[in-house]
Amino acid sequence: MKKIILFFFLSPLIFISQNNNFVIGINGGLYLANQNTSIQYNGNYNSYGVSSIFNNPLNQITFDQFFQYPYYIYDIPSDIKYNPASELGFHIGWKKKKSKYYVDINFSDIKIQDFITIAVDNPNNLSPEPNYEPVSIIGNEKRNMINLGVQKKIYEDSKISLFYPIFLQLLEVRIVDNFITINNQQYNILHNFQSSSNTNQNQGRIGLGFGSGLIVNYFVNKDVSFEFGYHIQYSKTNFSENLNPWGIQNSIFARIVLNGSKYLSNSNN
């Protein structure tokens, strides 16, 4: 996937000096993932989850010392959700009449954070209820996205233009890590069952998608413009043969764009 990304980003730069209808840009924004695959991080998705950690004899001595009294898993979150995440990327476009053909290359690091609840039967507790101890559960995920599309100009007034994008998407997803933390010690929840390491948990799989949205372009001068946009993407998050749902993702972003010298002169053609 990295080689594909480098190809799409670097190849136009080789020709940009020869064909100055090109524009290049860098963008940042907010990526809102749907919750269709977040359940895999809740610690109960497979047999290598939270129960496996607590049943591991190597961990039980440490947990016994930490909780001090009899304890058990009381609750595991069933509606664990992705947090809103940053999205950074590059934009390469080529102007032709009132259209722009482009490639977007975006990266997002997504975090999932919640708590499991451990019940501790403390005999000193005056209540008949046990003490409930929250234990942090964390998941980290990477997504790489390549959008291949075209923007159609639908409005223009002075320095402001509106564009309607349509694009195909390649979406690579990869689990970085998933763990609980007890007494400042991390205990890994495995997803790549061939490895006991928390690194390289999932080699990454690619899914397809498509999307659209709205982009506002403001020309500062002949060399620089700003874009503010929204993308709605219907894509497959392809983690495995058993977990590859389709769903809607959303992006809100701002972009600074460097225009080739012919870009503005051709924008009204």
Q: How many domains in the chain?
A: 1
Q: What is the band of 18 on the pLDDT scale with cuts at 50, 70, 90?
A: very low
Tell me the residue range of the domain where 66 lies.
2-266
Spatial separation of the C-alpha atoms in residues 229 and 147, rounded to whole Å: 14
pLDDT of residue 12: 52
Q: Tell me the C-alpha distance between 104 and 146, whole Å.
A: 6
pLDDT at residue 68, as a whole number:
94
Confidence of residue 115 (pLDDT cuts 50, 70, 90): very high
Quick check: 264 pLDDT over 50? no
Q: Would you say residue 172 has pLDDT above 70?
A: yes
How are the residues of the chain apportioned to helix, strand and coil, as percentages rounded to the nearest 5?
A: 15, 55, 30
The CATH number given to whatever domain includes residue 191 is 2.40.160.20
Across residues 1-26, what is the average pLDDT? 61
pLDDT at 260: 62
Average pLDDT score over the chain: 87
pLDDT-derived band at 204 (thresholds 50, 70, 90) equals confident
Tokens standing for 115? Answer: 């708590």
What local confidence, expressed as pLDDT, does residue 134 receive?
96
Residue 192 is predicted with a pLDDT of 74
Burial class (CB in 10 A: 0-12, 13-18, 19+), 167: buried
Q: Average pLDDT in the 112-126 region?
A: 92
Its pTM stands at 0.84
pLDDT band at 166 (very low <50, low <70, confident <90, very high): very high
- Output the pLDDT for position 268: 47
Segment 50-58 mean pLDDT:
94
Q: Answer yes or no: is pLDDT of 202 > 70.
A: no
- The single-letter DSSP state of residue 260 is P
Q: CB–CB of 56/123 below 8 Å? A: no
First to last CA, the chain: 36
Distance CA 239, CA 243 (A): 6
